[in-house]
Structure 1
Amino acid sequence: MKAIGLIVEYNPLHNGHAYHIQASKHAADADVVICVMSGYFLQRGEPAILPRRTRAEMALRSGADLIIELPYAYSSQHAHWFARGAVSILDDLGAEAFYFGSESGNTEHFLQLVEFMENHAAQLQKELRCAITKGISYPAAQAEAFLSLNPPEHLPDLSKPNNILGYHYVKATRLLETNILPKTITRVGAGFHDHVFQEDTSIASATAIRKMLVENANISTVRPFLPAHVYDTIEQFQKDESPFYQWEAYYPYLQWLLSTRSAESLAHIYEAEEGLENRFIQAALKAPTFQAFMQAVKTKRYTWTRLQRLAVHLLTGTTKAEIAEAFGESARPQCARILGFTQSGRGYLNIVKKHTPLSLYDRPPKNKNTQQWLDERAARAYYSILSGAGRVAKWKEEYTQPPLYLKEEVPKARKI
C-alpha cells in the first residue's frame, strides 16, 4: 500500500484543508493518507478551538485514512522542532512522501533554499546576531539576515508563514536523513493569517473562521468555508453548549498561577528565558484579560506566538528538563498515539506495526514515559475550563476511548 503524509492542526478543518487532502492523494496516486495532527495545544501557542477527537473525526470524514497525534513535546514548539517531530513520525510510519501547502508551490525551490541556507550558514549566523541586537524578534531577524545574503529571487519568501514551515519541513528531512520525500502543493484562497473572509472564494483562513466562531453567535456565516460535515459538527458542538476552547477562558488559571508563584520557581519552565517569568508575573498582577496580558508582555524582541507558547508551558507545568528528557538523544519521537483510522488506514497500520521503530498506542499506558506524561498533562490542562463533572468525564475518556474507526467510504471532496 502506498502511503503519503500530511502535517496538520485542523483548527478547524476547512475547505482549503479538504482540498489539500484530496489534491495530495491524487498527486501521489496514494492508497493511504496519514495525518500527523497536533493534539490539544498548537504550534502557535494556542489551545485548539475544538477537542482533539472532534478534529480527528473531521479529518477522517474529509479523506484522511490514519490520524496520529504529534506529541505535546513537539506540537507546541518552534517551527524547527515542530517540523522535526512530525517528519520523523511520518518517516517511521513508512510514508513515501509528505505534502505541505505553501505560497511557493515549487518543491525544487524549497530544496534549493535549504541548500542555500546551508552554504551560507556562517554568514547567516553573523547577520542574524547583528539583526537581533536591534531588539527585533527572532523571525524578523532571520528574515532580515536572509535578505542580506541577496538570495536568488526564485527562492521561497521566508516572510510567508507556510513557506517558513515548508523550509523547516524540508530541512528536517536533511537533518534526520530520512527516506521520505518532501512535496508541496500551492495554497489556494485566503492567506494563512487573514482575519477577514474573501467574498469571491469558498476558502477562508482558519484564523478568520476561528474569529467568527468565537465572536459571532450566528455561526452560519462560516458555512460556505467548511465541508458540510464539519459545519454540522460545529453546529452541534455549539448546541450542546460546549465552549470553544480559547485563551481567554484559560486566563484565570494562568493569572492565578503567576500571581501565587515566585519568579525563581517559574524559571525552570520551558521557554522561560531572559527573565520573561518576571515580566509575566508583573503583567498578570495588572491585566484583567488575556488580551491585555499579552499586550503588556509583548515586546519587539518576542513574537506573540513565542510568548503564547511560554503561557502554554506554564499552564501545563512543562519544565526544561522534561522537554530535554522527552527529546532524548535522537530528538525523534519514540512513541505516538493512534487517534483514528478508516478501513484502509487500519489495514496499513496492521502492516506498518510490524517494522516501525515507533511504539504506537491507542490509550495511555499506566507506566508512562516523559513524553506520554506531558501529553496527559496537556489533556488535563485543556479540559480544566469545564465544570467539575465535565473535567472528570473528559479525563476519564483519555483512558477509556478507543481510536475512532470510520467504516464507511468517504466521498470525494467537492471541487473548489
Structure 2
Amino acid sequence: MSMNLAIVGCGGMGLRHALGYIELLDKSESFKLVSVCDPYYDSAKHVADIVYKSTSDRPRIYTDFSEMHDQENLDAIDITTNTLSHHSIAISAMKRGIHVMTEKPMAVTLKACRKMKEVSEKNNVVLSIAEQYRRDPMCRFTKALLDSGIIGDPSFAVKLSVGGGIELPHNTVWRSKKNSAGSMIIDQGVHESDMIQYLLGDIQTIYSETKMVHTNLYLGKINPILAKFYEHRSDEYPEDKNFIQADQEDTAFAVLKMKSGVIVNFVTSYASIGISNGVNTIQGTKGSMAFVYGRTGNPPKIYIIGKDEPLSEEEMLSAVPDWKLDELTAKFWGSNRMGHYNMPFEVADKKLIAIELEELARSITGIEKHEVGPDIGMKALALPYAIFESGLTSNAIEMSEVINGNISKYQDEIDSNLGI
C-alpha cells in the first residue's frame, strides 16, 4: 500500500522533486503524491498539472501549509521551499508524526538543525536530507577508487569554484539574503562540503577570509538547463526590480584541516565577472585525482607515478574489481557497475531524486536506514558556517564547536531575527 506524500514548495526544486516522484513510479509504488503546497497558487498548480499529465492523478493544491496538514492524512512530506522555512515546516510535521525529507541545506542555521534533530528523535520519525551529489554513480566510483589507494594516501586537495558576477543566482531573492542562508557559499557550498567529507572524512579546523564583493545584484538570464525548472516559479521581488540589495558574503578563501591530516584549499566565489573556473582535485602520495560532482556522467581523471597519461576507464574499473553500485542505484541506472554514463542533466537529476524518495520510504518501513540523516546534514552545513564564523573573527575554528553551537556569533543574528 502506498504512503501519502506531499511536496511543500513548488518552485524550481519542487518541480524537480515532482519529476523525481514521476520517475519513481516506474520502479516503485511506495508513495502516492496526494498534495502540493506553495503560497503562490500558480506555482503549485504548475507542478500539479505536470504530475497529472504524467500519472493521471492530480495532487490537491494548497496555499496554506496548516490547512494541508488538517485536510490530508499524510505519511511524509518532501520540503523544497527556500531554506528559511525548512526548520519550521519540518518541526510542525514531525510533531504530528509525519516523516520528513528536506532539501539541502538542512536548515537556516545549525541551531535550527539541532532543533529538527531533537524533534525527530522525540517523535520517532524519519528526518532525511536530500543531498544528491554523493549518490551519483560517478561519485560512488570516485569514492571507491580513492578508498582503493590508487593514488596512495591523500595529502592535500584543492576545491575552487569561481563564477557568478552581478546577477542574482537563479533570479531568486532569498539567495542574496543572510536571514535566508542565501549566499551561494551556503546554497552551493553544502553540496561541496558534503562531498569533501564523503571523500576525505571529518573536518577538524577551518580558517578563512570572507568578503562581500557585490552589494547590488541584478535580474539576469537563468542557465538554460535550469530555466526549464525555475521559470514558472514566483518570487517576492521589490517594486524596483532593477536590482536586489544583497547582505551576505559572496566570496570565501578557506583552509581546512581534516582529521586525517589532509589539507584542503577551499575557495568559492559568486562574484567573478566574466571568468568562471572550477577545480576539484585530490593529491596523494602515489598520484592525483580530478573529479566532478555528479550528473555529468564523467568519471574521475587519475594520474599515477610512472604513467604520463591518465588511467583509462578500463584501468580504473580494474583497480576496484569488487566495487558495485548499491541495489537501489543500480535499479535506476540499469547496471551495478559502470565507468561512465550518458544521459542529460535532467534525466540524471530525476533519477537521483527518485532514489532519495525510495530510500525515504524504505527507512520509514524499516527496510533500511537512510544514508543522509541529521548528523550528516549538519556536518554539510557546518563547513559554510564555520567559514563565515572564521571570517568574522579572523580565528581558526574547530568544526565540532560550530556543530554543537559553542561557536555561533555569525548565526546569532539570524537566530534572533527568526526567533529560533
| TM-score between both structures, scaled by the size of structure 2 | 0.28
Structure with greater helix percent:
1
Structure with greater strand percent:
2
| TM-score between both structures, scaled by the size of structure 1 | 0.28
